[in-house]
C-alpha cells in the first residue's frame, strides 16, 4: 500500500485510531497528564513505555530501519522548549485537537499557538540560526 | 471521573497504530511534521509539483542539493558517485531488503493532502471517542486540574495556553519531532537522536510539572 491512495488511507485510519486512542488513554485531560509527569500515577506512563517496547520488538523482528535523524544543534534546545510548552499547555501537537474534540474550547488557543510556533520556527530558520535537520520527518 | 483505558490497552493501541502506519505507508509516523507541511502548504505543494517533474533521480538529487544549499546558505555537496552495480550476485527478489530499502525507509514525506487528512482524522477520532465514552462536554476552561495547578484566571489561562502552544510548535520543529515522531516511532527504531530528544522533552516536562504541582 504505497500508492497515493494507499498512503491517504493509512493517514486516515491512523489519524482516527490515534485520536480515539489518546482520548481513551486520557492524554487530553490535563489532570491525568500532570499526574503522569509527576509520577503520581503510572498508568499513562506505562502505556507509552509499553507501546515503545512493543514497537521496538516488532520493528526489530521486521528489520525496520533504525532512525537516520542526526543529532543536530536544535534537538536539545527544541526538546527543552517543547517540554516546557507540553507541561504548561498539556498539548503535544496532536493533543489540542482531541481536547477541542472533547469540548475543551480554550484548546483552540493552544492550536493557534502551535500554528504560530511552527511558522515562526521555519521563519527563523536561516535568518537567525542555520540548522540542517536532515530528513527527520517526525 | 471518566474511566480511562488500562495501561496495557493504551500500549497496544499506540503500538498497533504506529506499526500499522509504518508498514502500510512505508514512512515514519509523526504529527508535528504533518503540522509543518500543512501550515506551509503553498511551498510544500510547489515542492511536490516540482518533484513530480523530475523523472531522473540524479537530476532530482542535484536539485534538492542546490535547494538545500540555498536555504541554509551553504555550499552544495559534491554529487555522490553512482553506486556500482553488481551483476555477479544480484539480490534475490525474496532477500531481506538492504539498508536503503528496508521497511519504513521511504526518503520522502507523505503527500501534503494525506497529512491534512491525518490532522482532521485525529480530531474526528477524538470526537468519536469523547462522544461514545460520555467524555464530551463543552466547557470554557481546561478542567479542574488546570485551574488548581496552573491558573484559574481566564486571561492568564489564554496567555499560558498560547505561549505553551508556541513553545510546542517551535520546539517540536526545532527538535525535528514530538511524542509520536521521536517518542513512539523514533524510540521504537532505537534512533539515538530520538532517544536524546525524548529524554530531554520528557525530563523538562517532568521538572516543570513538579514546579507547577509543588512550588507554584
Q: How many domains does chain A have?
A: 1
Output the pLDDT for position B49.
78
- Highest-pLDDT range among A120-124, B74-78, B180-184, B205-209: B205-209
Give contacts of A137 with chain B, Cβ < 8 Å: 27-28, 30, 33, 109, 177, 181
Indicate whether A137 belongs to any domain.
Answer: no
Interface of B with A in 117-146 (CB under 8 A): 117-130, 133, 135-146
Q: How many percent of chain B have pLDDT more than 90?
A: 40
Q: Look at B188 and A14 and tell me if their CB atoms are within 8 Å.
A: no
Q: How confident is the model at residue A135 (pLDDT cuts 50, 70, 90)?
A: very low
Check CB contact of A73 with chain B, cutoff 8 Å.
no
Residue B201, pLDDT above cutoff 50: yes
Mean pLDDT on B134-157: 91
- Selecting from B23, B129, B164 the residue whose C-beta is nearest the C-beta of A23 gives B129
Cross-strand partners of A104: B139
The larger pLDDT score, comparing residue A15 to residue A129, is at A15
Nearest chain B Cα to A9, which residue?
Answer: B114
Mean pLDDT on A90-94: 89
C-alpha span between B48 and B53 (Å, rounded)? 9
Q: How confident is the model at residue A136 (pLDDT cuts 50, 70, 90)?
A: very low
Task: Kindly report which listed range (A16-20, B26-30, B205-209) carries the lowest average pLDDT score.
Answer: B26-30
Structural domain boundaries of chain B?
Answer: 31-79+111-138
- The alpha carbon of residue B157 is apart from the nearest alpha carbon of chain A, in Å, by 8
C-alpha span between B109 and B96 (Å, rounded)? 23
Output the pLDDT for position A133.
62
Give the containing element (helix H, strand E) for B107: none
Mean pLDDT on B170-191: 89
Contacts of B118 (CB under 8 A, 6+ apart): A11, A12, A14, A15, B31, B34, B110
Mean pLDDT on B121-146: 93
Indicate whether A134 belongs to any domain.
Answer: no
Interface of B with A in 50-109 (CB under 8 A): 68, 71-74, 96-97, 99, 102-107, 109
Interface of B with A in 157-216 (CB under 8 A): 157-158, 160-194, 196-198, 200-210, 212-213
Query: What's the alpha-carbon Rg for chain A, to the nearest Å?
Result: 17
- Highest-pLDDT range among A76-80, A88-92, B70-74, B78-82: A76-80
Mean pLDDT on A49-55: 95
Indicate whether A129 belongs to any domain.
Answer: no
Query: What's the alpha-carbon Rg for chain B, to the nearest Å?
Result: 22
Q: Look at A29 and B31 and tell me if their CB atoms are within 8 Å.
A: no
**B86-101 tens-digit pLDDT:** 333 333 333 333 344 4
Helices (H), ranges, chain B? 7-25, 31-39, 41-53, 57-72, 112-133, 144-149, 154-175, 187-188, 192-210
Q: Look at A18 and B186 and tell me if their CB atoms are within 8 Å.
A: no
Average pLDDT, chain A: 88
Q: What are the percentages of helix, strand and coil residues in chain A, rounded to 5? A: 65, 0, 35
Give contacts of B72 with chain A, Cβ < 8 Å: 126, 130, 132
Q: Look at A116 and B169 and tell me if their CB atoms are within 8 Å.
A: yes
Task: Kindly report which listed range (B28-32, B59-63, B72-76, B185-189) carries the lowest average pLDDT score.
Answer: B72-76
Output the pLDDT for position B98.
37
Give contacts of B161 with chain A, Cβ < 8 Å: 89, 106-107, 109-110, 113
Angle between helical axes of B112-133 and B41-53 (0-180°, round to 10): 130
Output the pLDDT for position B108.
64
**Which residue range is the domain that position A32 belongs to?**
4-124
Mean pLDDT on B205-213: 93
Task: Kindly report which listed range (B69-73, B80-84, B207-211) carries the lowest average pLDDT score.
Answer: B80-84
ipTM score above 0.95: no
- The alpha carbon of residue A62 is apart from the nearest alpha carbon of chain B, in Å, by 8
C-alpha span between B187 and A64 (Å, rounded)? 12
Check CB contact of B49 with chain A, cutoff 8 Å.
no
Write down the pTM of the prediction: 0.81
Residue B80, pLDDT above cutoff 60: no
- The alpha carbon of residue B64 is apart from the nearest alpha carbon of chain A, in Å, by 12
Give contacts of A81 with chain B, Cβ < 8 Å: 167, 170-171, 174-175
Amino acid at each position: 500500500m504505497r500508492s497515493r491512495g494507499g498512503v491517504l488511507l493509512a493517514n486516515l485510519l491512523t489519524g482516527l485510531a490515534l485520536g480515539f486512542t489518546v482520548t481513551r488513554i486520557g492524554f487530553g485531560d490535563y489532570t491525568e497528564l500532570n499526574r503522569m509527569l509527576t509520577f503520581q500515577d503510572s498508568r499513562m506512563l506505562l502505556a507509552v513505555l509499553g507501546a515503545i517496547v512493543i514497537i521496538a520488538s516488532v520493528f526489530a523482528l521486521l528489520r525496520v530501519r533504525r532512525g537516520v535523524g542526526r543529532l543536530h544543534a536544535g534537538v536539545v534546545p527544541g526538546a527543552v522548549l517543547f517540554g516546557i510548552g507540553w507541561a504548561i499547555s498539556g498539548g503535544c501537537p496532536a493533543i489540542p485537537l482531541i481536547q477541542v474534540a472533547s469540548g475543551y474550547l480554550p484548546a483552540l488557543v493552544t492550536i493557534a499557538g502551535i500554528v504560530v510556533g511552527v511558522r515562526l520556527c521555519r521563519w527563523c530558520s536561516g535568518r537567525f540560526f542555520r540548522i540542517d535537520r536532515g530528513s527527520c520527518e517526525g | 471521573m471518566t474511566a480511562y483505558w488500562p495501561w496495557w490497552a493504551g500500549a497496544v493501541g499506540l503500538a498497533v497504530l504506529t506499526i500499522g502506519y509504518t508498514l502500510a505507508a512505508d514512512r515514519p509516523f509523526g504529527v508535528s511534521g504533518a503540522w509543518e507541511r500543512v501550515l506551509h502548504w503553498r511551498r510544500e505543494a510547489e515542492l511536490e509539483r516540482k518533484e513530480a517533474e523530475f523523472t531522473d533521480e540524479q537530476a532530482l538529487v542535484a536539485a534538492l542539493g542546490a535547494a538545500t544549499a540555498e536555504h541554509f546558505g551553504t555550499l552544495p555537496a559534491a554529487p555522490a558517485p553512482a553506486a556500482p552495480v553488481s551483476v555477479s550476485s544480484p539480490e534475490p527478489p525474496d532477500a531481506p531488503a538492504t539498508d536503503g530499502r528496508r521497511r519504513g525507509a521511504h526518503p520522502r514525506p507523505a503527500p501534503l493532502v494525506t497529512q491534512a487528512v491525518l490532522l482532521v482524522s485525529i480530531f474526528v477520532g477524538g470526537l468519536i471517542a469523547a462522544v461514545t465514552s460520555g467524555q464530551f462536554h463543552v466547557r470554557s476552561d481546561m478542567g479542574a486540574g488546570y485551574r488548581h495547578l496552573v491558573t484559574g484566571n481566564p486571561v492568564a489561562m489564554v496567555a499560558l495556553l498560547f505561549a505553551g502552544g508556541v513553545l510546542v510548535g517551535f520546539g517540536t520543529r526545532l527538535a525535528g519531532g514530538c511524542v509520536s515522531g521521536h517518542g513512539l516511532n523514533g524510540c521504537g527504531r532505537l534512533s539515538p537522536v530520538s532517544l536524546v530528544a525524548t529524554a530531554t522533552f520528557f525530563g523538562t516536562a517532568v521538572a516543570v510539572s513538579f514546579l507547577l504541582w509543588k512550588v507554584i
